[in-house]
């Protein structure tokens, strides 16, 4: 995003419909111009499959299995309202073979069914519509159901002993394309309506409990909210050791733009804190046990990638000028590196970067042209994810005209 585009984008805050319309016509006019894909020949493509979000790892602990969703519709507008998607794994050489595990009625194009591994064992957890409600289901890689829970999953702990949950009904209203069309309704947990709570689930006892509520956060926040603001939780993520968790408190008011506070819950002292950032926060990843990397706005109104120390509350710019627009970072915890992507630019070119934080240098891995029809709630972000060894990246792409679950071996890329 160049300076003029960034200025125009920010000047239209509070008017998202106008901003999106102008963006569409701008890209439609320029996307017909020729543009060259970069490193397209290095990609392993698995068509009619996708994983979902960038916050979890689709590979099993031993890197044998690659979790995925598979779908039958050939069009990007295939509706989650009317169809199921399969839950499965790729395996074998270059993860070229496929095995079906189950299916689900609860999914969307951005986050799928919240499919992820549960701990170190080869157990997959995901959301499904059961008995008229959103429920997390656990299956092994042979397709055997292991257990189920009475609430949906949002994020699992590193050791698989617990997970976090929130209301996907409420998320569906607040952030289009991220919730589910099938409604779950209210469940009372610890005397609190589930739709207003961030919920903790002990996987052994299967008992849900309330960590904190929307009213708790609104009460301690130093921000002023309009009376008609619509509040909800989203984007949960445990820290590498599992003793902290990130969650977004989001709200919309009369401007219709989404505003965000980043919350960090400390399980050791049962305390929740609000990170010192502005009201624009889009995506995040734990960089270390005490640091997060986020694309956000700082308190001075500057937007970009920032590193926030959740213990000292220090906020530092990432310092890599190549990354001038929003993206979906995922960090490696064994070395200071992240992968992240961009949204399609004026020519509909979508890019994937690897960033060496120690050297403060970024390397372009891929640049692919995405058809214009993949936009808004049916867009196909790369949402890059590291494998367990740091040698491969998994990402979703629609550059061939069909959404696909792709992988790239980093050694094949000349930077």
Share of the chain above pLDDT 90, in %: 81
pLDDT at 300 over 60: yes
How much is the average pLDDT of 133-151? Answer: 98
pLDDT in tens, 151-196: 999 999 999 999 999 999 999 999 999 999 999 988 899 999 999 9
What would the two tokens of residue 72 be?
A: 């039958």
Q: What is the DSSP letter of 108?
A: B
Tokens of 6: 């960034």
pLDDT averaged over every residue in the chain: 91
Going by pLDDT thresholds of 50, 70 and 90, the confidence category of residue 23 is: low
DSSP string, 309-363: ETTT--EEE---TT--S----EE-SSSSEEEEE----TT-EEEEEEEETTTTEEE
| Selected residue with higher pLDDT from 203 and 19 | 203
Mean pLDDT of 258-263: 96
Listed by start position, the domains of the chain span: 52-341
pLDDT band at 76 (very low <50, low <70, confident <90, very high): very low
Give per-residue pLDDT as tens, 201-255: 999 999 999 999 999 999 999 999 999 999 999 999 999 999 999 999 999 987 7
CATH code for the part of the protein at 52-341 = 2.130.10
Question: Is 309:365 a contact under the CB 8 Å cutoff?
Answer: no
Q: pLDDT higher for 118 or 18?
A: 118
pLDDT tens, position by position, 344-403: 999 999 999 999 998 888 999 999 999 999 999 999 999 999 999 999 999 999 999 999
Distance separating alpha carbons of residues 310 and 415, to the nearest angstrom? 33
**What are the structure tokens assigned to 8, written together?**
């125009």
Asked if residue 80 has pLDDT above 80, the reply is no
Q: What is the mean pLDDT of residues 44-63?
A: 97
Round the CA-based radius of gyration of the chain to a whole number and report it: 20
Phi, psi of 47 (to 5 degrees): -65, 155
Cα 118 from Cα 155, distance rounded (Å): 9
What is the predicted pLDDT for the residue at 324? Answer: 78
Alpha-carbon distance values, 308 to 262, 263, 311 (Å):
11, 12, 9
Give pLDDT, residue 360: 86
Helix and strand numbers (H, E) in the chain are 4, 30
Which sign, positive or negative, has the C-alpha torsion 218, 221, 227, 233? negative
Residues 104 and 128 sit within 8 Å (Cβ to Cβ): yes
- How far apart, in whole angstroms, are the C-alpha atoms of residue 374 and residue 292? 30
Q: Is the CB of residue 297 less than 8 Å from the CB of residue 279? A: yes
């Amino acid at each position: 995003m160049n300076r003029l585009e960034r200025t125009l984008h920010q000047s239209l805050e509070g008017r998202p419909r106008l901003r999106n319309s102008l963006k569409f016509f701008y890209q439609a006019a320029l996307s017909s111009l020729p543009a060259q894909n970069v490193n397209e020949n290095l990609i392993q493509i698995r068509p009619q499959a996708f994983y979902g979000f960038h916050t979890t790892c689709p590979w099993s602990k031993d890197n044998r299995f690659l979790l995925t969703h598979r779908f039958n519709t050939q069009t990007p507008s295939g509706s989650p309202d009317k169809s199921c998607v399969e839950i499965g794994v790729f395996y074998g050489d270059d993860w070229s073979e496929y095995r079906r595990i189950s299916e689900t009625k609860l999914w969307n194009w951005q986050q799928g069914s919240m499919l992820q591994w549960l701990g170190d064992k080869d157990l997959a957890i995901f959301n499904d519509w059961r008995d008229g409600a959103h429920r997390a289901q656990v299956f092994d890689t042979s397709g055997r159901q292991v257990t189920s829970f009475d609430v949906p999953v949002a994020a699992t702990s590193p050791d698989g002993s617990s997970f976090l949950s929130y209301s996907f009904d409420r998320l569906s209203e607040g952030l289009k394309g991220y919730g589910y069309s099938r409604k779950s309704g209210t469940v009372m947990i610890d005397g609190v309506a589930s739709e207003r709570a961030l919920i903790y689930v002990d996987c052994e006892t299967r008992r849900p409990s309330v960590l904190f509520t929307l009213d708790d956060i609104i009460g301690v926040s130093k921000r002023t909210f309009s009376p008609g603001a619509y509040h909800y939780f989203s984007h949960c993520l445990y820290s590498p050791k599992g003793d902290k968790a990130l969650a977004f408190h989001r709200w919309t008011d009369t401007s219709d733009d989404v505003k965000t506070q980043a919350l960090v819950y400390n399980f050791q002292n049962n305390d929740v804190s609000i990170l010192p950032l502005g009201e624009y926060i889009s995506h995040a990843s734990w960089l270390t046990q005490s640091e997060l990397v986020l694309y956000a706005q700082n308190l001075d109104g500057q937007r970009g990638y920032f590193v926030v120390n959740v213990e000292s509350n220090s906020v530092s710019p990432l310092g890599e000028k190549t990354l001038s627009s929003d993206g979906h970072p995922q960090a490696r915890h064994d070395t200071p590196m992240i992968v992240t992507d961009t949204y399609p630019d004026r020519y509909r070119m979508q890019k994937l970067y690897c960033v060496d934080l120690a050297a403060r240098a970024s390397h372009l891995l891929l640049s692919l042209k995405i058809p214009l029809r993949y936009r808004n709630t049916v867009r196909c972000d790369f949402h890059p994810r590291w494998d367990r060894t740091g040698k491969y990246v998994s990402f979703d792409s629609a550059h061939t005209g069909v959404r696909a679950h792709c992988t790239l071996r980093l050694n094949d890329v000349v930077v």
